[in-house]
């Protein structure tokens, strides 16, 4: 069966039902090992033990941007291919991405206070990440403000694509402007600048949280399909009652 065949909501439900328990177990296992390794890793020579916050803060930041990129791909699916599953994927990802963006800001703030002496500074990286969170919240608000589901999906897709310009700004803000936030130290030309003893737990943590995001997204997509089926059944029951 071709991968595109799973773009059928009924087939997707079957696939999600089979995959989700395994994915959830794998997520839990990888996260447990990653967090154990993070707490075994040595302290940073400058930051001391506060570097432990990196193992959650950095994956949250990557996934907040990855989640928005997934929203942009879904938005293309809504506007160009008009596929119902693209709208389901878009609607399901928005609250999950918002949570990851919020956690990135929360953990960054708790890391910033002991290292920079402040919880918040209006530098380009922090401000663009806050804009990303506001974009996620804006998408949630927009969907709930428009009653017609199709219209809400198309409006949210347009806002997603307009807001996608912020993703490269978040990524390159530390290169384009003079920021208090440190420059990229993993995905950069010339390779990572982090010592392998800290890098490997970080990468495994990123894999674990990525699995968590995928698991939650699949479960939320399944819920959204069931919600649409329920609405259709309620409408059918109401119509039958009216003509009875």
Partner 1 sequence: MLGDHASFIVAAYAGSAVVLLGLVLWIAVDGRLLRRSLDEMEARGVRRRSDSRGGRP
Evaluate whether 215 touches 24 at the Cβ level (below 8 Å). yes
Among 25, 29, 43, 162, binds partner 1 (CB under 8 A): 43
End-to-end CA distance of the chain: 43
Residues 37-71 as b/e (b if ≥16 CB within 10 A, e otherwise) read bbeebeeeeeeeebbbbbbbbbbbbbbbbbbbebb
- Nearest CB to partner 1, comparing residues 11 and 188: 11
Rg (CA), the chain: 20
Residues 96-115 that bind partner 1 (CB under 8 A): 96, 99, 102-103, 106-107, 110-111, 113-114
How many residues lie near partner 1 (CB under 8 A)?
37
Whats the size of the chain, residue-wise? 244
Among 5, 49, 175, 195, binds partner 1 (CB under 8 A): 49
Helix-then-strand count for the chain, H and E: 7, 0
Among the residue ranges 56-64, 129-137, 173-181, 184-192, the one whose residues contact partner 1 (CB under 8 A): 56-64
Instruction: Record the tokens describing residue 75, joined without a space.
Output: 């938005």
Cβ atoms < 10 Å from Cβ of 81: 11
In angstroms, the CA 58 to CA 107 distance is 9
- Nearest CB to partner 1, comparing residues 31 and 142: 31
Q: 224-243 mask for partner 1 (x: CB under 8 A)?
A: --xx-xx-xxx-xx--x---
- Nearest CB to partner 1, comparing residues 50 and 210: 50
Largest CA distance in the chain: 77
Residues 198-227 that bind partner 1 (CB under 8 A): 212, 216, 219-220, 222-223, 226-227
- Nearest CB to partner 1, comparing residues 46 and 178: 46
Evaluate whether 153 touches 90 at the Cβ level (below 8 Å). yes
- Nearest CB to partner 1, comparing residues 15 and 79: 15
- Nearest CB to partner 1, comparing residues 119 and 176: 119
> Which residues of the shown chain bind partner 1 in the complex (CB under 8 A)?
10, 43, 48-50, 52-53, 56-57, 60, 95-96, 99, 102-103, 106-107, 110-111, 113-114, 212, 216, 219-220, 222-223, 226-227, 229-230, 232-234, 236-237, 240
């Amino acid at each position: 069966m071709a991968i595109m065949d799973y773009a059928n909501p009924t087939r997707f439900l079957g696939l999600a039902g089979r995959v989700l328990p395994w994915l959830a177990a794998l997520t839990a296992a990888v996260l447990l090992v990653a967090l154990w390794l993070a707490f075994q890793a040595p302290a940073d020579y400058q930051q001391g033990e506060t570097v432990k916050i990196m193992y959650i803060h950095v994956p949250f930041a990557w996934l907040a941007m990855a989640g928005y990129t997934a929203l942009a791909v879904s938005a293309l699916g809504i506007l160009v291919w008009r596929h119902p599953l693209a709208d389901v994927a878009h609607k399901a990802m928005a609250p999950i991405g918002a949570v990851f963006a919020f956690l990135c800001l929360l953990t960054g703030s708790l890391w910033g206070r002991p290292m920079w002496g402040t919880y918040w500074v209006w530098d380009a990286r922090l401000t663009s990440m806050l804009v990303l969170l506001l974009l996620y919240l804006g998408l949630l608000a927009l969907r709930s403000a428009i009653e017609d589901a199709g219209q809400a999906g198309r409006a949210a897709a347009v806002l997603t694509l307009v807001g996608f310009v912020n993703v490269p700004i978040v990524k390159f803000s530390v290169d384009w402007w003079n920021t208090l936030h440190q420059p990229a130290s993993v995905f950069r030309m010339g390779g990572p600048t982090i010592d392998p003893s800290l890098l490997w737990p970080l990468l495994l943590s990123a894999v674990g949280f990525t699995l968590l995001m995928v698991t939650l997204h699949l479960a939320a997509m399944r819920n959204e399909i069931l919600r649409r089926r329920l609405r259709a059944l309620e409408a059918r029951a109401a119509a039958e009652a009216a003509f009875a």
